[in-house]
Structure 1
Amino acid sequence: MRIVYHSFEGRYSDNPRAVHEALLARGDDVEHVWLSSPAHAHGFPEGTATVPYGGQECVDLLESADVVVSNTHIDLEWEKRPGTTYLQTWHGTPLKTIHHDVLFAPEGRLARLDRDVARWDALLSPNAASTPHLRHAFRWTGRVEETGYPRNDVLSAPDREERRARVRRQLGVAEDATAVLYTPTWRDDDLFGDGPDFALRLDLERFAERLGGSHVLLLRLHYMVSGALGTVEVPGVLDVSFHPDIADLYLAADVMVTDYSSTQFDFAVTGRPIVYYPYDLDHYRDDLRGFYFDFPALCPGPVAAGTDEVLDAVADVPALAREHAEDLAAFRRTFCHLEDGRATERVLDLFLPRRTGGGQPTRRSA
């Protein structure tokens, strides 16, 4: 059996990575091949078989696969052969609208991506709240499995504290430092429209000035704009946009700052607090993208109007956590109810069971 994995146009990451690692640990007789990009080649473990994303070699590989596991569209022209299973894991609980539900998209983009949707055999949903929105956005009437996300299993794993300590050491974050993970999402008009070039609205120099002695900012840009800032040289700020696995960063962080990114739903599994900085809320909601859920009523943490309000909120993380504990607990009941550390097991039982058989998995089909 040949399994081809694809994550964010060439990264070793996300749900496909969790599935791959679980199959390796299980020891199945499977040929594993990843689609990779030069910018992210450093993230692949030594000995991993890879093929560059795009081009004829990539197309030939996809057309030879028995199973394709992808976390987003494979925006290439290829023919799925009869008998191949294409599992689309997707990559987040949708707060902002996606695919056919967006307010605008470049001409021809959705029709082109629909050709990939037509190849899917099944779609994963991270929670019951997401399922109807994923179905509607993709006009998907096929199989949906509510399993939780394999990528989040490590956040509940028995060794999560050891992994947290290891990642912090690797990043150079001191044991007594407060790690602030900042995950702003991308803006459609930056990438596709006539809007301004991508720029941060959180003042990094102000962060260093106020909190640099006790806090470290872990800056994680969306994969579509991960190289937009070039080199970031601010004391106490680490650009981790090219770190292979964002789950490492969730574990390393003490608090998240975000806007409309789906990272908030994954980070909530840790039980740590979240601060929101939606600096362009009216434009983003009404003109640019729109939401599936009521924002900011949804937010289980403070909503800041500027950099100083963000810094005020993250200055005392224990107090922040106490103040918003009930809101975060309710948020987790809605969006993290399947994140029990066994999502990968459920996915394998459903799509790649041991050939010797086994019991029926616990999950919900929707």
Structure 2
Amino acid sequence: MDKKTLIKDLKFIILTCAKYSARALYHIGTHVLSPKDNIILFESSNGRNYTGNPRYVYEEILNQGLENELKCVWVFMHPEAQKIPGNGIKVKRSYFKFLYYAIVSGAWVFDSRHLYYLKKNKKTKYIQTWHGTPLKKLGLDMDYIDMSGNQDIEKYHDEFIKNSADWQYLISQNSYSSEIFKRAFAFNGEMLEIGYPRNDILINNNNADYIDKIKSKFNLPKDKKLILYAPTWRDNEYYQKGEYKFATEMDFDAMKEALSDEYALIVKYHYLVKENIDWKKYDDFVIECDAEWDIQELYLISDVLITDYSSVMFDYAILRRPMMFFAYDLEHYKDSLRDFYFDMFEEVPGPIVKSTEKLIEEIKKLKVEDYELKYGQKYDDFQNKYNEFDKGIASKTIIELIRNGN
């Protein structure tokens, strides 16, 4: 065995021993240490980034000047790469400091399933915010899976049931979600029908001054209309477990040629997508998001949303702006990958197109008054059903629960 291989093997052994030692200490610690009401543990997207509902709860804590009262801890896979405002503590997922705070935190605020070996203290409030109104079947409603090659649906169901058993509270955006969550997550805790904290900004900050500040912050053009392209991920198109490809059949050359005089296109990957595409040839048209760009702010500055089967449609609908659905693989996606809870053709308040040519055609003839005339009633129905509980006070409600609730 050469020296390089030996060192690699030793590192693996050391890291493995450290990992299992940390977990052993964690389980011992759960019987020795008690949670403190003023410590809150936050995690978004399984520690991948600083975003979503947990982010907006945290920032409301800052806005209310509660930093000295509440000690906030953020969990990240790579803490050194994440920037957060305020005095929040950053810890590395699965490491000792993280496990310590998992034990002593009086509240967990997560938006995805927690690590399988964590066990919540009975005194810790677990507020599961989830990450969107369900369009595609999820959890126990799924009859099959093909996620990064994982096709064991029974194991997936078992893991979900064990995980959701710890959830004390679950946030819902609408009655539709509440019913699905109870069944799909086998959830027996308290449903908080208060809307999503991340959507408070769409209700409270939808004004010209705030939008102009965001454009300046991201150095976005102010002389063009902005299209946000935010597609979802495809379960079976991946590089490795948890890292998915940017799957699209959009012809960016054609989009640029037809639209660049009037529009710029912001491309926002799903958080599970890992890509390193060179967009330089589209420099004056395509704008690739930096990792820290928050999608709620991108909603606010966008004149049009293009998506496919992503739950971004439910949040964006709050703004009542034009939406288009580039669903080039609709039949395959629905029949072979993930079943839908609803009929896109009947419900979505915008055109469903399957080619770039048709998409360009719809954008070129787009006028807000014409769009409203054609899709106004569908938009009314869509908002009434899916934005039912979004009132702009969800973050404040969560903070009140953490500070004063039982």
TM-score clears 0.5: yes
Structure 1 residue 23 and structure 2 residue 23: aligned?
A: no
Larger radius of gyration: 2
Q: Which residue of 1 aligns with 2:333?
A: 284
Separation in 2 of the partners of 1:20 and 1:132?
Answer: 27
Contact 2:161 2:186 in 1 (8 A): no
The answer for the alignment partner of 1:2 in structure 2 is 39
- The answer on whether the counterparts of 1:14 and 1:91 sit within 8 Å (CA) in structure 2 is yes
Residues 1:24 and 1:251: Cα distance change in structure 2 (over 3 Å): same
Quick one: structure 1 residues 49 and 223, their matched pair in 2 at CA, closer, same or farther if it must change by over 3 Å?
same
Cα contact 1:181–1:220 (8 A) shared by 2: yes
Structure 1 residues 230 and 40: alpha-carbon distance in aligned structure 2, compared to 1, 3 A threshold? farther
- Secondary structure, in 3 states, of the residue corresponding to 1:341? coil
CA-CA distance at 1:87 after TM superposition: 0.5
Residue matched to 2:255: 207
- Matched residue, 1:245: 294
Equivalence for 1:142: 189
Cα displacement (A) at 1:222: 1.0
Question: Alignment partner of 2:275: what SS?
Answer: coil
Deviation at 1:321, TM superposition (A): 4.2
The alignment covers a number of residue pairs equal to 352
Unaligned runs of 5+ in 1: 358-366
Query: Shift in Å at residue 57 of structure 1?
Result: 2.9
Partner in structure 1 of residue 176 of structure 2: 129
Tell me by how many angstroms 1:76 deviates. Answer: 4.2
Distance change (3 Å), C-alpha of 1:54 and 1:114: farther
Matched, 1:186 2:224: no
> Which is worse superposed, 184-193 or 336-345?
184-193
Compared with structure 1, are the counterparts of its residues 51 and 89 closer, same or farther at alpha carbon in structure 2 (3 Å cutoff)? same
Q: In the alignment, is residue 35 of structure 1 matched against residue 86 of structure 2?
A: no
Q: Which moved more, 1:36-45 or 1:157-166?
A: 36-45
SS at match of 2:313: helix
Within the alignment, does 1:326 sit opposite 2:364 as a pair?
no
* Mapping 1:17-166, distance limit 5 Å: 17-28=55-66, 29-38=69-78, 41-45=81-85, 47-105=87-145, 106=150, 107=152, 108-158=155-205, 160-166=207-213
1: CA distance, partners of 2:86 / 2:278: 27
Q: Name which of 191, 204, 221 aligns with 2:269.
A: 221
More helix per residue: 1 or 2? 2
1:59 CA drift (Å): 2.4
Partner of 1:272: 321
CA contact (8 A) 1:199 1:229 kept: no
Q: How much has 1:216 moved relative to structure 2? A: 0.9
For the 8 Å contact 1:9–1:74, the answer to whether it is kept is yes
Q: Which runs of 5+ in 2 are unaligned?
A: 1-37
Q: Offset of 1:40 from its aligned partner?
A: 8.3
1:164-207 CA deviation, whole Å, 9 max, x = no partner?
111122333332311111111011111489xx954321122221
Shift of 1:310: 1.3
Once structures 1 and 2 are overlaid, which stretch shifts more, 35-44 or 167-176? 35-44
Q: Quote the sequence identity (%).
A: 29
Corresponding residue of 1:361: none
Tell me if structure 2 keeps the 8 A contact 1:129–1:334. yes
8 A contact 2:211–2:301 mirrored in 1: yes
Give TM-score, length-normalised by structure 2: 0.81
Letter in 1 for 2:99: V
Distance in 2 (alpha carbons) for counterparts of 1:241 and 1:338 = 31
Quote the RMSD (CA, aligned, Å). 2.3
Alignment partners' CA distance in 2, 1:76 and 1:143 = 21
Mapped contact 1:59–1:77 kept (Cα < 8 A):
no
1:311 to 360, 365, 374: 360
Which residue is equivalent to 1:301? 350
Identify if the C-alpha distance between structure 1 residues 32 and 177 changes in structure 2 by more than 3 Å, giving closer, same or farther.
same
Cα–Cα, structure 1 residues 43 and 201, in superposed 2: closer, same or farther, change >3 Å? farther
Go from structure 1 to structure 2 and tell me whether the alpha carbon gap of 1:4 and 1:231 turns closer, same or farther (over 3 Å shift): farther
Q: Distance in 1 between matches of 2:403 and 2:105?
A: 17
The TM-score, its normalising length taken from structure 1, stands at 0.89
Conservation of the 8 A alpha-carbon contact between 2:107 and 2:402: no
Give the letter aligned to residue 88 of structure 2. T
What are the Cα deviations for residues 57-103 of structure 1, in whole angstroms up to 9, with x where unaligned? 32222122110001111234222223011110101110111112224
Cα distance in 2 between the residues matched to 1:212 and 1:19:
37
